[in-house]
Amino acid sequence: MNCPKCNSEMMFGYVQSKHGIIWSAEVHEWFMLPNAKKGDVWVGGKDNCFSVLTEALRCPECKTIVVLPPVEKVE
Ligand SMILES: [Zn+2]
């Protein structure tokens, strides 16, 4: 995939954290818990604040990172 910002080829990798990461349309000043009513979501697909491991692409030129949706495990 090419970078949506500068069109350079992106590198495959992972976004990782020992704590949860949220995506929100607004800046959270204090509490980093997602507000589902405003569309906030946990990055990585888990509905908790624990570890995150999800695939992502990084542009070596402009440093843009594109986080990919979590892969569903079939058990
Ligand atoms: Zn780029």
Indicate the pTM of the whole model: 0.77
Distance (Å) from CA 10 to ligand 1 centroid: 7
Distance (Å) from CA 37 to ligand 1 centroid: 32
Domain boundaries, the chain: 11-28+35-67
Q: Which helix (H) or strand (E) holds 58?
A: strand 52-58
**Please, what is the end-to-end C-alpha distance for the chain in angstroms?**
29
Q: How confident is the model at residue 58 (pLDDT cuts 50, 70, 90)?
A: very high
Distance (Å) from CA 51 to ligand 1 centroid: 27
Distance (Å) from CA 41 to ligand 1 centroid: 25
* Pair 41, 17: CB distance under 8 Å: no
* Pair 22, 39: CB distance under 8 Å: no
| Mean pLDDT for the stretch of residues 59-73 | 87
Tokens of 73: 């495990």
The per-residue pLDDT for 9 is 98
